[in-house]
Amino acid sequence: MESPAGAPEGGAGAARKIIHIDMDAFFASIEQRDRPELRGRPVIVGGSPEHRGVVSTCSYEARAFGVHSAMPTRTAFRLCPEAVLLHPDIKKYKRISAVIRGIFHEYTDLVEPVSIDEAYLDVTVNKRGERSATRIAREIQREIFLKTRLTASAGVSCNKFLAKVASDLHKPAGLTVIRPEEAESFLDAMPVEKFHGIGRATAARLLAMNVRTGHDLRQLDRSTLAAHFGKVGEFYYRIVRGVDDRPVETGDEPKSVGKEITLSADSTDRRQLRIMVRTLSYKVARLLLGRGLLGRTVTVKLRFGDFHTVTRSQSLPEPVPDGGRLGEIALELAEKGGMYQHPIRLVGVTVSNFLTPEELNRPVQLEFDF
């Protein structure tokens, strides 16, 4: 168990040692930690059902009822009526995320944050001079628990894909090692929709080809995969064999987060356009939540049938609280931009001007200053 990346050196280059750390039910666990009365109870952190909210994270008690993230909150309550619903407290989660990130950097600066509660670490060479990635992963789990009283699951392997598969195998608080030579046996039984990078639509297409598991997927040759899925087919060919050369990429936080949609036909339909702006707003709000970002500037982009493009922005004193409010602001901006007057080809909603770490840590201001 001590030397996960035990592949022979040389050949395609020395084997890497990659760790994937994934916090267990992050938002819900934080709330249960801070509010003892919630421990042992099904907790949902997410948007309210009245505002078409979705589950962002839920506790393991809620998962036992079939509740999962990205599920509409309304559906979650149908499955688990006694669930406690909490609005996400991003500032708090972000502060804890920063503590955890600090722990990673005690071992390596090759850290790639995937979201507020998930990251890849390349510890092939590390600040501790520790040869065993497994030992590092265990130490990180221990330190996270000491500093935050929260559990993390860890996966250790020779690349990002396998490390992520590994961290998911024994949640919560698991530590799983996949050696390169074991990769295929781990992947054989795995349903294709659980492969990182295979979305629901692709899984459905694979199912139509009678491909359900990693074992099935491995029976398809390169050219078949390329014919059906183009360039990403090659990626599938490789990952199902446990091969993934993607580097762990450190990167700065984004300056903005946005989504846009191109209509299948230019439209002036008020109802259709409103639904589109609202849907985009919810999607953007979910991306922000996943990354722990709070932004104060909303920008709407409209492209008209004649390809003329306008943008309208508004900056608020406080960050946009949720997808519902974002949708309202975006609709006002879109109206000012002339959304209902001329045929629309494309709509975009973007949030920027994020709170800095210093602003996130600033104590809450009292309403009146004397």
Q: At what angle do helices 90-104 and 26-34 cross, to 10 degrees?
A: 110
Cis link prior to 254 (omega < 30° from 0)?
A: no
CB of 308 to Mg ion, least distance (A): 43
**Amino acid at residue number 211:** V
d(CA 364, CA 370): 16
CB of 5 to Mg ion, least distance (A): 24
Our CB check for Mg ion shows the closer of 22 and 31 to be 22
Our CB check for Mg ion shows the closer of 154 and 339 to be 154
In this structure, are residues 276 and 261 in contact, taking their beta carbons and an 8 Å threshold? Answer: yes
Q: Residue 359 catalytic?
A: no
Residue 46 has phi, psi (to 5 degrees) of: 175, -165
* Residue numbers at the binding site for Mg ion (CB under 5 A): 22-23, 117
In this structure, are residues 242 and 179 in contact, taking their beta carbons and an 8 Å threshold? Answer: no
Among the listed residues 118, 139, 181, 249, the single catalytic one is 118
Our CB check for Mg ion shows the closer of 23 and 331 to be 23
Our CB check for Mg ion shows the closer of 90 and 277 to be 90
196: left (phi over 0), alpha (psi -120 to 50) or beta: beta
Strand partners, 57: 45
Contacts of 179 (CB under 8 A, 6+ apart): 4, 5, 6, 7, 157, 158
> Can you tell me which residue has the tokens 């962002």?
56
CB of 25 to Mg ion, least distance (A): 7
CB of 171 to Mg ion, least distance (A): 8
Residues designated as active site: 118
